[in-house]
Amino acid sequence: MGLDSYLYAKKFVASASWESEEECKTVKEIANLMGGNDFLYDDLQFAEVKLQLAHWRKANQIHKFFVDVCGGGTDECQDIYVDRDNLKDLLEKCESILEDHSKAEELLPSQSGFFFGGTEYDEWYFADLERTVPILKKILESAPENWEFEYRASW
């Protein structure tokens, strides 16, 4: 029990008549892998691929960033759209804080909540940032431009 949060990459593909042959083939391959070919109809098929890229456990400062910056301050365990600029912003904040710990409260303040973990700016806080930096770098360097990102938390 406690704050668990996830970052996902998503891609939508469709096999409608106006889509490319490659997109149509991709939808059929995904459906086949998932055992869904028998109940799909021919006209308008689509698939959404969703990959988990990151998982944080009680990293309330990361959660607060996504809720405040990307979710408009609404924290209802909802899916929150995240764009690349948001990921770049989070990466820059993490790197800046790791260079100068005194910036932590200003750039990525902690947040209390029901089993959200500690709110101190201690080794656990900074360990979350150290783990987050390489994840964000890899995503920003590797993820194709036509993928979208989504954040979701639960507790």
Domain ranges of the chain: 4-154
Residues 30 and 28: their CA atoms lie apart, in Å, by 5
Cα–Cα distance, 26 to 14 (Å, whole number) = 8
Q: What is the pTM of this model?
A: 0.86
C-beta contacts of 76-85 below 8 A and 24+ residues apart:
77/152, 77/153, 77/154, 77/155, 78/152, 79/150, 79/151, 79/152, 80/150, 80/151, 80/152, 81/148, 81/149, 81/150, 82/7, 82/149, 82/150, 82/151, 83/149, 84/140, 84/149
Q: Cβ–Cβ contacts within 10 Å for residue 147, how many?
A: 17
pLDDT in tens, 49-94: 899 999 999 999 999 999 999 999 999 999 999 999 999 999 999 9
Q: What is the pLDDT of residues 129-142, one digit of tens each?
A: 999 999 999 999 99
Please state, rounded to an integer, the average pLDDT across all residues of the chain. Answer: 90
| Average pLDDT of the residues in 104-124 | 93
